[in-house]
Amino acid sequence: MNVVTPQRQDVGVDVASNGTVTPQRTVDLRPQTTSTIRQVHIKEGQFVKAGQLMFSLDDRSDRASVAQAQAEVARGRATLADLERQYKRSGELFAQKFIAQSAVDTLHSQVDAARAALAANSAAVQASQVNASYTAIRAPMAGRVGAINVYPGSLVQPATSLTTVTQLAPIDVAFTLPESNLASLLAAQKQGTVPVEASTGGDAKPVTGQLSFVDNTVDPTSGTIRVKAQFGNGDGLLWPGQYVNTRVTVRTIKDAVVIPQSAIIINAEGTFVYVAEHDGTARMVPITRLHAFGLNAAVTGLAGNEQVITEGKQNLRPGGKVRLAGARQQGKPGAQDAPAARKDKAA
């Protein structure tokens, strides 16, 4: 018979689900004015940085409007300077009683009006500059460019879609979990970072992220709750719209006793294992399976130093004799070795 010694290790309790990769931000670029495309500075599928120039529109009319507004400001400043000199001179003449007070008041009003006109012209320059800035369309964020729908010379309007920019790093994976896991999930989230593993299948290496969102309601129709996990995605393994297999560690069993699942017996008497005693007999030990993962399971009921029987246990009875694999026959000199996995008849 074969035996193993239980191992002690931290065991993560995982929940598997299917998810969809969703970008955190996707921007549909559209012009804010009606104009024609002068130049396209990017290519389809290109990665761009935030603020990078992507499209240039025909800006001749806007540049002319800016120049006109700036000329109005210059004229307003000249007018204001002239009126301020007249107003200052009128104060001197009034002091010498050459002009009346009404003339001084009139010039004061003209100075105030000129200052207001200058402020209005300055605002008009700013408005013209804002309108002119619309002719340079820049990336609102770092990301990957989608299909480009326009070319130099194309007439575009505010309803025209130029292209899209999608953020790929970091990126989210959206999936659902049964509501029965909600309490464990929230408890794990309160304790700290909740790791989430995503796999695209095939030979692709799984990537690890962390839980970022738990919805505030459970879907009463399906009995599930929507959650999201965030991944750095620096290597670009996750792609928007892609289906992935996710695994969430909702809790961790600390210092758990781990044994092979092949050692566990389940029948009408309950769940138990057989352990080999020092006197060569078998003892039945009731256990509770806490969590199964792969070929192993975390259990309670064992101290961790037992010799758990994994093979040849089907015919055992409590107190029955057992012979471990590799043990030698005890007998006369020259006796041959017993077969590796032979059991005594009493077993």
The model's pLDDT over 322-337, given as tens digits with 9 standing for 90+, comes to 777 654 433 333 333 4
Confidence of residue 98 (pLDDT cuts 50, 70, 90): confident
Range with the largest mean pLDDT of 76-80, 89-93, 246-250, 314-318? 76-80
Output Rg (C-alpha) for the chain, integer angstroms. 40
CATH number of the 29-58+135-166 domain = 2.40.50.100
Q: Is 239 helix (H, G, I), strand (E, B) or coil?
A: coil
Tokens coding 30: 């559209």
Which pLDDT score is estimated for 328?
41
What confidence category does residue 311 fall into, taking pLDDT thresholds of 50, 70 and 90? confident
**Start and end residues for every CATH 2.40.50.100 domain found in the chain:** 29-58+135-166
What number is the average pLDDT over the span 116-129? 95
What digits encode the pLDDT tens for the residues 135-192? 999 999 999 999 998 999 999 999 999 999 999 999 999 999 999 889 989 988 888 8
Is-contact 322 279, C-beta < 8 A? no
pLDDT of residue 334: 38
For the domain spanning 59-134, the CATH number is 1.10.287
Domain with CATH 2.40.30.170 in the chain: 10-24+168-253
Cα gap 201→157, rounded to integer Å: 43
What is each CA distance from 213 to 101, 237, 314, in whole angstroms?
73, 21, 48
Tokens 């065991």 appear where?
Answer: 11
Using a 10 angstrom Cβ sphere, with 0-12 exposed, 13-18 middle and 19 or more buried, the burial of residue 235 is exposed
Q: Are the C-beta atoms of 249 and 14 separated by less than 8 Å?
A: yes
Asked whether residue 89 carries a pLDDT value surpassing 70, the answer given is: yes
Let me know how many helices (H) and strands (E) the chain has, helices first: 3, 21
CA atoms within 13 A on the CB side of 119: 6
Top CATH class of 10-24+168-253 equals: mainly beta
The CA distance from 75 to 68, in Å, is: 11
Residues whose CB falls within 8 Å of the CB of residue 85, separated by 6 or more in sequence, listed in order:
none
Structure tokens at 308: 């758990």
Q: Are strands 270-276 and 265-267 parallel, antiparallel or unpaired?
A: antiparallel
| CATH 1.10.287 placement within the chain | 59-134
